[in-house]
């Protein structure tokens, strides 16, 4: 069922002319389309998000879409479920179903080889760092970790926890846009929360440099 919904979402997106999910008008159109599914809207959203993660589609617009459609709380829940599920499936594809193909995909990105070597030394700490600090593209990481020695459990738990702050920030910011239509105070509060989280995340790389042996090793390894 979820697979069919995911396909339907992609097809509908193309029919609507959604070639750039990040555009506000496209997000608004997708919001209306998904909301029209009523009780099935969460299934449509999660299925489409998972398919997008596997297909290397940027996750940020979809996270914002979750906040627009479902609000900050439910949007965070659904976006977190979807991003973690997509990350798990990409990991499993790389490890068990298409390892040779994934290795060929990664060949043009020698920097991703650092993840394998650093993970062998530092384990889940490398997952934590690459999820919190934008060193490598999110969707490429999902496949890259499938080629490392880290266990699926450690990868998933660390990914879920460390992706959560950014997910909350973006869904809260998107939810503030909707809230502003009927409650200005709520909008200001939500934007303030999102702003604090985003500022903290932007300062994290600078704070970690020199304090994290795992990060220093990841950046230094050639």
Distance, CA of 89 to CA of 74 (rounded, Å): 22
Residue pLDDT, tens place only, 102-144: 888 777 777 777 788 888 888 888 888 888 776 777 888 899 8
Structure tokens at 158: 């660390």
Structure tokens at 125: 């700490």
Place of tokens 């069919």: 4
Whether residue 99 is predicted with pLDDT greater than 70 in this model: the reply is yes
Distance, CA of 183 to CA of 15 (rounded, Å): 34
User: What b/e sequence results for 116-127 when a residue is b if at least 16 CB atoms lie within 10 Å of its CB, and e otherwise?
Assistant: bebbeebbbbbb
Lowest mean pLDDT among 54-68, 78-92, 156-170, 203-217: 203-217
Lowest mean pLDDT among 131-135, 139-143, 191-195, 207-211: 207-211
Domain with 99, as residue range(s), is 2-220
* Predicted local confidence at residue 5, as pLDDT: 41
- What number is the average pLDDT over the span 61-86? 92
204-212 contacts: CB < 8 A, separation 24 or more? Answer: 204/132, 204/133, 205/133, 205/134, 208/129, 208/133, 212/125, 212/129
* Predicted local confidence at residue 175, as pLDDT: 78
| Count of domains forming the chain | 1
* Predicted local confidence at residue 115, as pLDDT: 81
Residue 13: pLDDT band by 50, 70, 90 thresholds?
A: very low
Structure tokens at 136: 């490598």
Distance, CA of 90 to CA of 184 (rounded, Å): 40
Residue 168: pLDDT band by 50, 70, 90 thresholds?
A: confident
Distance, CA of 93 to CA of 101 (rounded, Å): 10
Residue 179: pLDDT band by 50, 70, 90 thresholds?
A: low
């Amino acid at each position: 069922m979820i697979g069919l919904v995911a396909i339907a979402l992609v097809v509908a997106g193309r029919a609507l002319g959604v070639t750039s999910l990040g555009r506000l008008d496209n997000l608004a159109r997708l919001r209306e389309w998904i909301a029209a599914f009523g009780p099935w809207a969460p299934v449509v959203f999660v299925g489409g998000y998972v398919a997008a993660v596997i297909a290397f589609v940027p996750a940020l617009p979809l996270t914002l879409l979750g906040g627009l459609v479902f609000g900050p709380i439910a949007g965070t829940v659904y976006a977190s479920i979807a991003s973690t599920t997509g990350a798990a499936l990409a990991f499993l594809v790389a490890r068990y179903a298409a390892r040779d193909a994934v290795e060929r995909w990664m060949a043009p990105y020698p920097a991703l080889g650092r993840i394998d070597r650093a993970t062998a030394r530092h384990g889940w700490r490398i997952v934590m760092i690459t999820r919190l600090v934008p060193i490598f593209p999110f969707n490429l990481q999902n496949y890259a970790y499938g080629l490392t020695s880290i266990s699926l459990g450690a990868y998933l738990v660390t990914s879920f926890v460390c992706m959560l702050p950014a997910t909350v920030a973006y869904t809260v910011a998107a939810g503030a846009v909707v809230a502003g239509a009927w409650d200005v105070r709520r909008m200001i509060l939500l934007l303030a929360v999102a702003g604090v989280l985003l500022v903290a995340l932007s300062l994290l790389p600078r704070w970690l440099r020199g304090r994290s042996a795992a990060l220093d090793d990841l950046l230094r390894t050639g």
